[in-house]
Chains A and B, each alone.
Chain A
Amino acid sequence: MAITSLKFFAFLAVIYLLYCLVPRQKRWFVLLGASLFFYVVCGSLRLFVVTLLQILVAYGAAIRTDKQQREGVSTKINTAGILTCLAVLFQIGALLYYKEMNFFVTNGNILLHLLGKESTLFLWQIVAPLGISYYTLSYIAYILDVYWGVVSPQRNFLKFCLFGIYFPIMISGPITRYQEIEQDLYAGNRADYQGFCFGLQRILWGLFKKLVIADRMAPIVQEIWSGDFYGWCVLIGVLGYAWQLYMDFSGCMDIVLGASELFGIRLPENFNTPLYATSLSEYWRRWHITLGAWVKDYVMYPILKTKGLQTRAKKWKKKFGKKMGKKMTTWIGLFFTWLVVGLWHGGAWTFVFGSGLFFFLMIIGGQILEPIGKWCIEKMHIPTQSFGWKLWQRIRTFVLFSASISFSWSASMKDGFRMWARCFKPTNLSSLLPLASRADWFLLVIGAVIVWLISYGKQKEDVRMYVAKKALPVRWILYLVLLFAVLICGVYGPGYDASSFIYGQF
């Protein structure tokens, strides 16, 4: 049941009706039932056992840890710490087994080959439980947050199950922390009239991004990457993929957040107009925000705070000066961030390399070249607050981001480099035109302009509030235009696979 399908919206409507009919304190039962149904339909009942086991471990470990800490048993052994560690390791183990096993097998085979061994390890036929990449990170955050005293554990097992499999977040996240949705999830509030309208608008906006833009862009990008295109055409293919990915993923998030808003449950935002980022580090804070924040809080901070690294940092500061010493420590943190982000995205070196390239460019551009950049700006008297300079920074950032993720989409590292090699051959841009009809090119340009306008508006104020303040006819004209744009211009029909959200595969 793809979240862009009619089936999903019929399901959503039935659940919403039931949700409204049931007494307030029982409404979370409806969501739990709906989430179970969604899990079984989109995933499988057999694999639910795995998810249930992960839920049980997170639930049990959190309660036990909390008890240990409240009782304050003063033993030399930190039982709560050990328990937390084991529970986190179990979650990581489950994620590695279901998502990375074949990555290890493939690399094992390469290693065996290099060592001159003839034996070959066979690839495993593994089907991962629905949403494991997303919910596992939420469970780890929950276990650690209880241990760190940030949140009290949920004692009602069924309520915790709802947090564990809440249906809107099972396809592509966002990676949600328990304390962020705890109150909304069980309160049984439903959206008021404005919230209901906002939720529907957001779903419609998400459908527009996914069906009108991303899915129209997909075959063009696919053709450029696999066909005989050179020079500027390759660069457009690279930028096109980044744009398609943005529309696909943020469109999916709009549908998910909008659907959840109908039940009065506000999920954390995953995007904050990344096109407005003027540097890669800012882009990192605006793109897939919940993953970035998760890695920062649960990987980078704990690593940077370790005694070993702090001792090393002191030595580096003495040896290389305060500033450089501090930077070098930060690079260690970024290295682990890169590794986790790369591995999380998929069991392939292309993802690890793509993620590494992003952080490498971030370090090179943001930290090493920064003094040179500042010097150039001063000497050339560049007005850094001017529109032109900001625009240049935004374009540069998007191009660098696109370049780094281009490897993630390549079938292999070789393919990625081969594609970039094609970039340096001369070509004629007009060879791109036959890839789509005039109407498609027109819609893509119009779509990009609309997205840019909305992004621009979001920098100033909440666009939905802005629309809500308009007169009734104006509002309805806008809604109807968007609805008909999706119905008429959306890419679907026979052979269309609406379930293929790019981030659904991770």
Chain B
Amino acid sequence: MSREEVFERLHEIFWDVFDDEDIRLTDATTSDDIEDWDSLEHINLVVEIENQFGMKFTMGEVHEMKNVGEMVDIIIERATK
């Protein structure tokens, strides 16, 4: 799965979770850039990504992901396994 494909699917997930189609993601996007991205929405987002990509984040990754770029790295890593 290419990085572009992951971003494309992530955009849809983010739009759906945060109800905002104006969200534009980059590698550097963090929770500070999206108004409703608090700790509670973070877990909803993680679960939605897991469902859509058919993969699992470890709890360590859930805590440690610092931005969307890291999230994409993990998704690609899992997809190639």
Residues of A within 8 A of B (CB): 144-145, 148-150, 281, 285, 296-297, 300-302, 304-305, 310, 313, 323, 326, 329-330, 333
The 7 closest A-B pairs by CB, nearest first: A148-B60, A150-B60, A148-B59, A304-B43, A149-B60, A330-B40, A148-B58
* B60–A305 CB distance below 8 A: no
* A150–B43 CB distance below 8 A: no
Contact with A along B53-74 (1 / 0, CB 8 A): 0000011101110000000000
* B40–A305 CB distance below 8 A: no
Given the contacts A301-B43, A304-B43, A326-B44, A145 and B60 also touching, CB distance less than 8 Å? yes
In the complex, B47 has a CB within 8 A of chain A = yes
Q: Give bound CA distance, A396 to B9, whole Å.
A: 41
Kindly list 12 other residue pairs between chains A and B, CB separation below 8 angstroms, not including A145-B60, A148-B63, A305-B62: A149-B58, A150-B63, A150-B64, A285-B39, A300-B39, A301-B43, A302-B59, A313-B47, A323-B19, A329-B44, A330-B40, A333-B43
In the complex, B46 has a CB within 8 A of chain A = yes
Chain A residues, CB < 8 A from B59: 144, 148, 297, 301-302, 305
* B47–A304 CB distance below 8 A: yes
Q: How far is the CB of B48 from chain A (nearest CB, A)?
A: 10
Q: How far is the CB of B71 from chain A (nearest CB, A)?
A: 15
Chain B: CB-nearest residue to A146: B60
In the complex, B38 has a CB within 8 A of chain A = yes
A281, A285, A305, A310: which has the most chain B beta carbons within 10 Å? A305
B residues contacting the other copy or chain, number (CB 8 A): 14
Chain B: CB-nearest residue to A302: B59
Q: Give bound CA distance, A297 to B43, whole Å.
A: 10
Chain B residues, CB < 8 A from A302: 59
Total inter-chain residue pairs, C-beta < 8 Å? 39
Q: How far is the CB of A127 from chain B (nearest CB, A)?
A: 35
Chain A residues, CB < 8 A from B60: 145, 148-150
A-B contact pairs, 5 of them (CB 8 A): A297-B59, A297-B63, A301-B63, A304-B43, A329-B44
* A310–B40 CB distance below 8 A: no
* A310–B47 CB distance below 8 A: yes
A145, A149, A301, A333: which has the most chain B beta carbons within 10 Å? A301
* B46–A305 CB distance below 8 A: yes
* B47–A301 CB distance below 8 A: no
Q: Give bound CA distance, A370 to B64, whole Å.
A: 30
Q: How would you classify the secondary structure of chain B's contact residues: helix, strand, loop or mixed?
A: helix
Chain A: CB-nearest residue to B46: A305
Q: How far is the CB of B69 from chain A (nearest CB, A)?
A: 19
Chain A: CB-nearest residue to B17: A326
Q: How far is the CB of A362 from chain B (nearest CB, A)?
A: 11
* B38–A301 CB distance below 8 A: no
* B38–A281 CB distance below 8 A: yes
Chain A: CB-nearest residue to B58: A148
Chain B: CB-nearest residue to A151: B60
* A301–B62 CB distance below 8 A: yes
Given the contacts A148-B58, A310-B47, A296 and B39 also touching, CB distance less than 8 Å? yes
Q: Give bound CA distance, A91 to B10, whole Å.
A: 39
Chain A: CB-nearest residue to B39: A296
Q: Give bound CA distance, A149 to B63, whole Å.
A: 11
Q: How far is the CB of A186 from chain B (nearest CB, A)?
A: 22
Chain A residues, CB < 8 A from B63: 148, 150, 297, 301
Q: Give bound CA distance, A42 to B46, whole Å.
A: 44
Chain B residues, CB < 8 A from A313: 47
Q: How far is the CB of A224 from chain B (nearest CB, A)?
A: 36
Chain B: CB-nearest residue to A297: B63
Chain B residues, CB < 8 A from A149: 58, 60
* B58–A305 CB distance below 8 A: no
Q: Give bound CA distance, A313 to B44, whole Å.
A: 10
Q: Give bound CA distance, A304 to B39, whole Å.
A: 12
Contacting B43 at CB < 8 Å: which of A144, A285, A305, A323? A305
Chain A: CB-nearest residue to B19: A323
Q: How far is the CB of B49 from chain A (nearest CB, A)?
A: 12
Q: Give bound CA distance, A329 to B43, whole Å.
A: 11
Q: How far is the CB of A365 from chain B (nearest CB, A)?
A: 15
Chain B residues, CB < 8 A from A148: 58-60, 63
Chain A residues, CB < 8 A from B47: 304-305, 310, 313
Q: Give bound CA distance, A301 to B47, whole Å.
A: 10
Q: Give bound CA distance, A388 to B43, whole Å.
A: 34
Q: How far is the CB of B30 from chain A (nearest CB, A)?
A: 16
Q: How far is the CB of A162 from chain B (nearest CB, A)?
A: 24
Contact with A along B27-39 (1 / 0, CB 8 A): 0000000000011
